[in-house]
A and B are shown apart, each in its own frame.
Chain A
């Protein structure tokens, strides 16, 4: 079983809705990531948090708003999404603070459908 827990596993939302994806890890990792994955494609990096501070924002549209309330939690707030935002959203954490150097531990993802 993964030690990175994501909720909800499935989410269907309309374009005017506001929803949030949640990610939790208790491995003491201080680097946390959001990835987006479309079907039959590799994961695409969205955001990276290091010590609860946003380190990387991969030019993601503002309708995606990340939040890291503490070292164990990572949220992704969604507002006014488009149908093309439908994808699998993966959270990951890493024990390596020097970004890039270590392996990532992924959750099972939240499968988002935007109608």
Chain B
């Protein structure tokens, strides 16, 4: 069965600090997809990144970077020089290509608060 664990329930940082959100997943499928979504107070989940299981290359997008390591089943998300606008709930999600068709499993989310 697929499972996503976001061990950090809440994180609070001061603006300009770097912060890493952890995501650990479990799956028996060899082909799977990992996602990060941001949910600001407005409610809408905003897609941030998609990674498939065959692409372990790390990715950087502006202040955001992602570290995918199959050896530790982790897909961690780092925000560099955090800003108040980064305050949100962040969800990591997993989808298996060959099983549980159509169902993404979300972690419980990490609430990030960035203080000015």
Contact = CB atoms under 8 A, between A and B. Distances in A.
Interaction A to B = yes
Contacts of B43: 88, 90, 108-109, 111
Is the interface on chain A under 10, 10 to 19, 20 to 34, or 35 or more residues? 20 to 34
Contacts of A43: 45, 91, 106
Given A100-B96, A100-B97, A45 B44 contact: no
A103 B106 CA distance: 13
B45 A48 contact: no
A54 B107 CA distance: 25
Interface residues of B, number: 24
Interface in B21-45: 33, 35, 37, 42-45
Contact of B102 (A42, A55, A105): A55
Contacts of A106: 37, 44-47
A40 B91 CA distance: 11
A76 to B, nearest CB: 16
A104 B95 CA distance: 11
Which of B35, B37, B43 has the most chain A CB within a 10 Å cutoff? B43
Contact of A41 (B46, B52, B95, B108): B108
Contact of A103 (B35, B91, B107, B108): B35
Given A42-B91, A42-B109, A99-B102, A107 B44 contact: yes
Given A42-B91, A42-B109, A100 B44 contact: no
B66 to A, nearest CB: 14
Interface string A43-78: 101001000000110100000000000000000000
Interface of B: 33, 35, 37, 42-47, 50, 52, 91, 95-97, 100-104, 106-109
